[in-house]
Structure 1
Amino acid sequence: MLPTQSGTLLEVEQSSPDTLSITTLAEADFRQEALDAFTFPAYRHLVQAALSDSAQAVGLVAFSGDIPMGLLLAEQTQSHCSLRSVYVPPASRRQGIGSRLLERWEETSVRLGITCLETSYTSSLPAVAAFEALLRRAQWEEPTERYLFVRGIVKKVWENAEFIKRLDRIAPGFSTFSWQELTADERSELESRIAAGGAPDNLSPFYDEEHIEPISSTGLRYGSRIVGWQINHWLPNEPGVLRYTRTYVEPKHQRLGRAIMMLRDAIRRHYNSALLDQYPYFVCDVAREMSAMQQFYQKHLIPYAEKSYRSYYCSKELASCS
């Protein structure tokens, strides 16, 4: 299987069955139940949206007679279209079906005025090399690394990692607190600060607030001012795992190891709470641009982790439809 961000694409050759047809889900005569097995649960809402001919969801099905043989799902904005999932069942592989779905998607996108196709995927998913080869054959750009991910066992990291033992004291003037202790006044001040550009909006501690896990999520104060946070989330599609999602420290404190200190504090709170039984794992990530933090992950975190992997972004610019 060949992965996209969380979906799959199956390896194929360049030949394809003569009787194969490809059409949109809205035009095809298939019920959602017949197609649910062709993608991951996280993307089944796209099947439903494409069956309803939603402008935001793209669904292409390859079939022979009344038998579905492949499914492509994508999400569309005004000028971009993001590949989410492509799947061909085992009995239909190595017949060029995946390539034909990709070609039809590109042709359809050009007619709709889409200027860019894109996809994200991780190195941990099956047959990633074959997926990248398929994109290269379709003349996509070379993939760009975006994030390093580490999935760790909380108990193993807390009890063994050297940085856990070394950073057992907090610097003078700083203090940490559980995010569930955030006051209404502090929240209001943070919201105003972010709105005014005092902290990046894409690192807002209020991102996906419905799924924030407040016990292990950590705030950092310098004096009475909140100067950083490590916000963690439940993952609805990954039982037993907390994602350490949003990490931020004000620029003037960033070179003093405060982000690592908050990571340690989040692991401590996770380890010492009732969360540990239900969520024995955590996953965290660091952007490619943050080389010092990536080096820390490599040296101090990955040796005690269950696994590590990287995410990539790939795109293809489309010519205008004449």
Structure 2
Amino acid sequence: MGAIAGGRPVGLVFGTCEGGAEAELLSVAVAPPERRRGIGLALLRAWQVEAARRGAATMIARYNETTSGRAAFEALTGRAAWSAPVEDGLIVAGRAGAMAEAAGAWRTISDRLSRSDLYDYASVELSEADVAAVEACLAQPAAAGMMGPVALAQTIAPAFSTLIRRQGAVVGWVLAAEAESSDATEQAKGGEPAIRYLEAFLDPAYWHSGVTIGAYHYCYARQAALLGRDSVAVYYTNPTRPRMVAITRRRFAPIADRIETILAVRCAGVPLRTGTTNLDFAHYERKHP
């Protein structure tokens, strides 16, 4: 949505509302000369009203802890009665070669890698039996919010993704995609290519086996071989995966180029008032092909 005053655009708010119960706020911006006049608050409240009209019962906004303008954004959402910020995950970026070497050197992982008779890391090629196994994995509470290799088939980069098999049966996966070259936050300063690791799952029956880290080792090693040791591996993990958060902080943080906390603020319902009244609001829709 855009805010217009005196026939001129003075602010924008971007978000997604894809028909689910939660809408996501992506950005709020006000032209510098127009700030401190309540335009940002009016935009945010108008966006909330529109999101609720489209069926969203709750709203969320996520941002990095080092985001420019974080203090101003948190002040804005605070005035709009959104929640206080809470930790919503971690972003880790490191060099594929160094991360593969470090993971492969961990004793439990090196032992696991030496036993290919039990677990295997395979290319993402799915048979009918594999599709059924993936559906069974996704039906587990531990996979809540995940999409899996079938739904993400057109998104992932197969060369940097893997299926985790136990005695031939699919029990998990690590899925990756090539990061957009224009996305500076995912690139190292030297402009090295980057791979974004989208999703990792392992059947809870096999937790504590080290096999997930073994799968990351396999993918990082493939990335280093194909794109170079200094290519960047980026992945995100959220608080609903506490084991992965703990492993990330304990194991990957010391060897990563960057580890950054993601914060989130939330709200429920619609505002009681929409703020200043001397603004017009224009709607902008993303056009699907």
Q: TM-score, normalised by structure 2?
A: 0.75
**Does residue 155 of the first structure (1) align with residue 82 of the second (2)?**
no
Give the direction of change, closer, same or farther, for the CA distance of 1:219–1:101 in structure 2 (3 Å limit): same
Which of 64, 71, 75 pairs up with 1:129?
Answer: 71
Displacement of 1:107 after TM fit?
4.8
- Give the whole-Å Cα distance in 2 for the aligned partners of 1:186 and 1:106: 44
Is this contact kept in 1: 2:30–2:40, CA < 8 A? yes
Counting only pairs closer than 5 Å after superposition, residues 94-105 of structure 1 correspond to structure 2 as 94-105=36-47
Q: Percent identity?
A: 23
The equivalent residue for 1:179 is 123
Counting only pairs closer than 5 Å after superposition, residues 22-171 of structure 1 correspond to structure 2 as 59=1, 61-76=2-17, 77=19, 80-108=22-50, 115-159=57-101, 161=102, 163-166=103-106, 167-169=109-111, 170=113
Q: Please identify, of 114-123 and 64-73, the stretch whose mean Cα deviation from structure 2 is larger.
A: 114-123
The equivalent residue for 2:216 is 263
Letter in 2 for 1:235: A
Is this contact kept in 2: 1:118–1:315, CA < 8 A? yes
Is this contact kept in 1: 2:121–2:164, CA < 8 A? yes
- Give the whole-Å Cα distance in 2 for the aligned partners of 1:281 and 1:86: 30
| RMSD, matched Cα | 3.1
- Give the whole-Å Cα distance in 1 for the aligned partners of 2:175 and 2:52: 40
Which of 217, 222, 228 pairs up with 1:276?
Answer: 228
Is this contact kept in 1: 2:161–2:174, CA < 8 A? yes
Displacement of 1:210 after TM fit?
1.3
Deviations 1:199-221 (A, max 9, x none): 83725222422121111212222
Counting only pairs closer than 5 Å after superposition, residues 228-267 of structure 1 correspond to structure 2 as 228-236=172-180, 238=183, 240-267=193-220
- Give the whole-Å Cα distance in 2 for the aligned partners of 1:174 and 1:280: 30
Letter in 2 for 1:200: A
The equivalent residue for 1:221 is 165
Greater RCO between the two (CA within 8 Å, min separation 6)? 2
Is this contact kept in 2: 1:178–1:216, CA < 8 A? no
Letter in 2 for 1:67: R
Displacement of 1:80 after TM fit?
4.4
Is this contact kept in 2: 1:193–1:199, CA < 8 A? no
Give the direction of change, closer, same or farther, for the CA distance of 1:191–1:88 in structure 2 (3 Å limit): same
Q: TM-score, normalised by structure 1?
A: 0.68
- Give the whole-Å Cα distance in 2 for the aligned partners of 1:140 and 1:195: 32
Is this contact kept in 2: 1:174–1:220, CA < 8 A? no
The equivalent residue for 2:264 is 313
SS of corresponding position for 2:257: strand
Displacement of 1:183 after TM fit?
4.8
Give the direction of change, closer, same or farther, for the CA distance of 1:199–1:83 in structure 2 (3 Å limit): closer
- Which structure 1 segments of 5+ residues have no match? 1-58
- Give the whole-Å Cα distance in 2 for the aligned partners of 1:208 and 1:256: 26
Displacement of 1:139 after TM fit?
1.0
Letter in 1 for 2:200: T
